[in-house]
Amino acid sequence: MLIEDTFAEAFTMRAARIIITGKTDRWAREAALKLTGFATSVIGCKCEAGIERTLPAAETPDGRPGISVLFLTMDKQSLPERLIERVGQTVLTCPTTACFDGLPSAPDRLPVGKALRVFGDGFQASKVIAGRRYWRIPVMEGEFLIEETFGMQKAVGGGNFLILADDADSCLAAAEAAVAAMDPLPGVILPFPGGIVRSGSKVGSRRYKKMIATTNDAFAPTLRAITETALPEGVNSVLEIVLDGLDGGAIETAMRAGIAAACRAGVRAISAGNYGGKLGPHHFPLRTIMGSGT
């Protein structure tokens, strides 16, 4: 098993943590799944989002089952815009749910509840509880409760590693093991389906000028013979794990757990995606993270 001497290159993003509660875990999760749907990559979705973890009732503000969601965009301006759109269409609409800020100490505040309150058409009412303002928005079911502002902080997006395997089955099994190891860790999300990406991309296009990202041909097994391949002998399938986190430490911890879990039968090497270190300020050297050369 080879841990390649390379690094993952990641970007500074802006993140919010949304706590969704519901009458049952099911309803909190229904809202969270809709909120984080179609939010795999800023390339096409304008945001990246995922479920951070399930919260027991004792850990939520209203004592009901909850889900913690991390929500990221590339810049300060677009984070509230995306949140207002998505929370308004997914959490507000979902039976029994309420929506709370998961970064209360963050000084940068996003007026998400403040914007959504106008759905109440003047019938909304606010309450300040322990110094935090909440909006009660009347709806057909009863009332939707949402915090007035949500905290925003700098975060790290685009942490990643590549699993290079003998065949597609062993590659998927290794990726699934990696996701299972990373999923419970706090402060990170895996925004792609099941936490796994099969279509890793490179910047730009060799043929289509308008494309900002196209297939990572260096890691595509079917192109081994006709492109400048990065694949070692015997590798017939590659999957990528992409992760976003609230800070570099959370990314490192999750990468360490994921890579360790992915190192199993049928996996030939672990690599990572980068842009030569020129684009992203956050570098995660695989061998340093794993604490060994191979």
Partner 1 sequence: MSETIVLTLRAPLERMLDLSAVAADRFAALAEREIAGQPVRYGGLAAALGDFVVVRGERSTRLRLEGDFARADGIGTGMAGGEITILGPVGRDAGLALAGGTIDVRGSAGPNAGGAPPGAARGMTGGEIMIRGSAGEEVGAAMRRGLIVVMEDAGRGMGRGMIAGTVVVMGNVGPGAGRFVKRGSIVAFGALAPPATFRYACTYRPPHLGVLLRSLRARHGLPFTDAHVAGRYHRYSGDFAELGRGEILHWAEAQS
The Cα–Cα gap between 291 and 294 comes to 9
Place of tokens 């505040």: 109
20 binds partner 1 per the rule CB under 8 A: no
Choice between 26 and 127, CB closer to partner 1: 127
Token code pair at residue 36: 């984080």
> Counting contacts by CB under 8 A, is residue 64 touching partner 1?
yes
Which of 107, 121, 130, 226 touches partner 1 by CB under 8 A? Answer: 130
Cβ nearer to partner 1, comparing 130 with 226: 130
The nearest distance, CB 127 to partner 1, in angstroms, is: 5
Q: How many chain residues interact with partner 1 (CB under 8 A)?
A: 16
Helix (H/G/I), strand (E/B), else coil: 59: helix
> Is residue 63 part of the contact set for partner 1 (CB under 8 A)?
yes
Distance CA 146, CA 127 (A): 10
3-class DSSP assignment, residue 217: helix
Does residue number 134 form part of the binding site for partner 1 (CB under 8 A)?
yes
- How far is CA 76 from each of CA 80, 149, 166, 233, rounded to the nearest angstrom? 8, 14, 42, 44
Does the footprint of partner 1 cover residue 140 (CB under 8 A)?
no
Tell which one of 24, 37, 56, 62 touches partner 1 (CB under 8 A): 62
Decide if residue 15 touches partner 1 (CB under 8 A): no
Q: Which token pair is 166?
A: 């003998």
Q: How far is the CB of 143 from partner 1 (least distance, A)?
A: 6
Q: Which is nearer to partner 1, 55 or 251 (CB)?
A: 55
How far apart are CB 49 and partner 1 at their closest, in Å? Answer: 23
Distance CA 128, CA 146 (A): 12
What is the closest distance, in whole angstroms, from the C-beta atom of residue 170 to partner 1 in the complex? 48
Report strand pairing: 201-203 vs 213-215.
antiparallel
Token pair 């494309």 is found at 211
According to the binding rule CB under 8 A, does residue 128 interact with partner 1? Answer: yes
Q: How many CA atoms lie within 13 A of 129 on its CB side?
A: 12
Give the residues lining the site for partner 1 (CB under 8 A). 61-64, 98, 125, 127-130, 134, 136, 142-145
